[in-house]
Amino acid sequence: MKFLTKACFGMLLAASAMSTPAFAQEEEAEASGPFTLSGGIAVTSDYRFRGISLSNEKVAVQPTLTVSHESGFYAGVWGSSLPDSPAYGKFELDVYGGFNTEIAPGTTADIGVTWYTYPGSDDGGAPTDYFEGIGKLSHDIGPVSITGMVAYAPKQDSLGDQDNIYLNLGAGFGIPNTPVTLTAGIGYNDGSLGLVSPDGQYVDWSLGASFAAGPLTFSAQYIDTDVPKTGVKAVDTLYDPTVVFTLGASF
């Protein structure tokens, strides 16, 4: 079922962070000691993961919680409500951990692992959980932030004993002296997670904007893919072009 990991909520948190003065962030970090707890909750009109709807175009609630150490190591959980089904239940839970560090002025590297699990699933014992390694490289140039991502899921029973690779390039532009951030991204999938595509290969892209007001952020994203139509409406709607609206609160 897993086909944008946490892209919408990640964008919300990023936009919120960009609107916070640097000195305030430093004071908070000093007061919290070596560990920092962050998180929030978002409501989105459609849970899209790498261009594909995992909520059948229905509203989804997505909480998250992360613990970070000043050394750069972090761990956390992210979840999303799902349409009830025997294979995946009613909820997706992602458990992740990794290491994030600045390798040069304005350049950050992040490497981690995410475990995708579905509590309450019951599909005759067929496995649904799987893990994926994710690497990111980000660079800031003034108000512009560019991030490249590589995600690799090795062969696993839940993936039909096949592997999968996903590449993504994204950019964000925080309009100076405003709470508005513009975003754009393009991704390419090749492998077992591209089940909506005949050969497992497809491209997804998005354009969006977000508006931050204190701990709240509202975003809108246009999302599309190049997956060919099957003629089956129930399948085609999962990757039809759409605009996704998200309201999130972070702390």
Residue 67 has pLDDT above 80, yes or no: yes
pLDDT of residue 32: 59
Q: How far apart are CA 60 and CA 87, in angstroms?
A: 18
| Mean per-residue pLDDT of the chain | 88
pLDDT of residue 85: 86
Averaged pLDDT for residues 188-200: 92
**Chain centroid offset of residue 191 CA:** 19
Identify residue 30 by its one-letter amino acid code.
E
**Residue 225 class from Cβ within 10 Å (0-12 exposed, 13-18 middle, 19+ buried)?**
buried
Pairwise pLDDT comparison (47 vs 32), residue with the higher score: 47
**pTM of the complete model:** 0.86
Which run of H or of E encompasses 15?
helix 7-18
CATH code, residues 7-250: 2.40.160.40
Q: What residue segments make up the domains of the chain, in order of their start?
A: 7-250
